[in-house]
Amino acid sequence: MFGLKEDWSLDAPPRYFTLEDYTGNEARWCPGCGGHSVLGVVQRICRDKQLPPEKTVSVSGIGCSSRFPHYMATYGFHGLHGRALPIACGIKSRRPDLNVWVSSGDGDCFSIGAGHWVHAIRYNMDMVLMVFDNAIYGLTKAQTSPTTHQGTKTNTHPLGAPLPSINPLTVTLGVSNVSFVAQTVDWNVPHLYATLKTAYEHKGFSFVRILQRCPQFSEHTYEEYKKDASRLKLLKHEKGIQLDDKITARFPVQHEHDPSDKAKALTLANDLDPIPIGLLYWDPDAPSYSDFTRLGLEMPVDKKIAALNDALDHFAI
């Protein structure tokens, strides 16, 4: 403009985003629901990273956790039960410029969405998947989810869930091209913040399982873990989640773990007591499917028309 260099341009008033810029409808989760703290953390990360709200899309399936987009003031897509990931990948495919956050539940992601979960890990497109794992179907009122503990009584299994629960971490780690696997808890906000921020910064698909309290239907699932920090094992490493020493000090059980070691990550993932929290696995170099889907995005129209005519020529008689 006026022949000025772009960074001299007068047109671009600096925008600074505050928390309000990310605050959508009032969150209608139950009091004490772990969703509230995740929401606050994501809003803070957006603010701290100064993500333009219009360039940010919050995508979800259906479930309590999937109400997330409504509580953000960014663009949002509250989709279908189990189908957040195909939508999110589709968005990213031709809009790599958008920041995509995906919220899913343990039923949404590991049950009805299981096929998409496995494949989205493999696609490794740049986005953060937050699985709100409350080990129960919340929105539909207390049915068994794949992570419900064996024996827990639910409305569909009044005599107790018949099978051992699935371990989402080991499945995720088993998928080739996996690039970022972390676990955190809703009730340790600094850890939650650090984990999701690191996930956001990872250029690829970040799988973050958040152990989430549901006082309404699975009150007891994480009670012990919350009360007794020694039931959690903090994973530490220079390549891992970075925390203040003050925060770190609160964890009696700590474990040095190099997140580039997949075999060790698998061993850790199998430990259920104490539960590992932190970054289990990280591979910044895994190929991303975006490199394939974005091809040709910038192609000028005349080139397209020429190519189209070539294609027609091929069939000309």
Ligand X SMILES: Cc1ncc(C[n+]2csc(CCOP(=O)(O)OP(=O)(O)O)c2C)c(N)n1
Q: Which residues bind ligand SF4 (CB under 6 A)?
A: 29-30, 33, 35, 64, 134, 138, 214-217
> Binding to a second copy by residue 307, rule CB under 8 A?
no
Structure-token pair, residue 159 = 């005599």
User: Can you tell me the distance from the alpha carbon of 52 to that of 57, in angstroms, rounded to the nearest whole number?
Assistant: 10
Q: How far is the CB of 252 from a second copy (least distance, A)?
A: 26
* Radius of gyration over every alpha carbon of the chain, rounded to an integer in angstroms: 21
Of 234, 214, 191, 207, the C-alpha closest to 34 is 214
Q: Which is nearer to ligand SF4, 216 or 254 (CB)?
A: 216
User: Can you tell me the distance from the alpha carbon of 250 to that of 264, in angstroms, rounded to the nearest whole number?
Assistant: 24
Q: How far is the CB of 187 from a second copy (least distance, A)?
A: 25
Q: Which residues between 113 and 152 bind a second copy (CB under 8 A)?
A: 113-116, 118-119, 122-124, 146
Structure-token pair, residue 135 = 């080990």
Whole-number Cα distances in Å, 122 to 57, 154, 240, 287, 288:
21, 33, 22, 9, 8
Select from 134, 152, 195, 290 the one that contacts ligand X (CB under 6 A): 134
Select from 1, 176, 298, 317 the one that contacts a second copy (CB under 8 A): 176
Select from 14, 31, 158, 164 the one that contacts a second copy (CB under 8 A): 164
Q: Which is nearer to ligand X, 37 or 65 (CB)?
A: 65
> Binding to ligand X by residue 107, rule CB under 6 A?
yes
The answer to whether residues 167 and 146 touch, using CB atoms and an 8 Å cutoff, is: no
Select from 43, 103, 111, 206 the one that contacts another protein (CB under 8 A): 111
The H or E element that residue 105 is part of is strand 99-105
Q: Which does 278 bind (CB under 5 to 8 A by kind): Mg ion, ligand X, another protein, none?
A: none
Query: How many residues sit in the footprint of a second copy (CB under 8 A)?
Result: 35
User: Can you tell me the distance from the alpha carbon of 228 to that of 252, in angstroms, rounded to the nearest whole number?
Assistant: 9
> Binding to another protein by residue 16, rule CB under 8 A?
no
Segment near ligand X (CB under 6 A); pick from 104-112, 187-195, 220-228, 254-262: 104-112
Note if the bond before 14 is cis, omega within 30 degrees: no
Select from 140, 177, 216, 248 the one that contacts ligand X (CB under 6 A): 140
Of 12, 76, 13, the C-alpha closest to 43 is 76
Q: Which is nearer to ligand X, 65 or 290 (CB)?
A: 65
Q: Which does 163 bind (CB under 5 to 8 A by kind): ligand X, Mg ion, a second copy, none?
A: a second copy
Residue type, 106: D
Segment near ligand X (CB under 6 A); pick from 44-52, 88-96, 101-109, 179-187: 101-109
Q: How far is the CB of 195 from a second copy (least distance, A)?
A: 21
Residue in this structure with the two tokens 């772009």, named with its chain if needed: 6
> Binding to Mg ion by residue 148, rule CB under 5 A?
no
The dihedral over CA atoms of 146, 147, 153, 154, expressed in degrees to the nearest 10, equals -50
Structure-token pair, residue 100 = 């995509």
Q: Which residues between 45 and 74 bind ligand X (CB under 6 A)?
A: 62-65
Determine phi and psi for 72, rounding to 5 degrees: -100, 155
Site residues (vs Mg ion, CB under 5 A): 105-106, 134, 138
Contact residues for ligand X, defined by CB under 6 A: 62-65, 81, 105-108, 132, 134, 136-140, 145
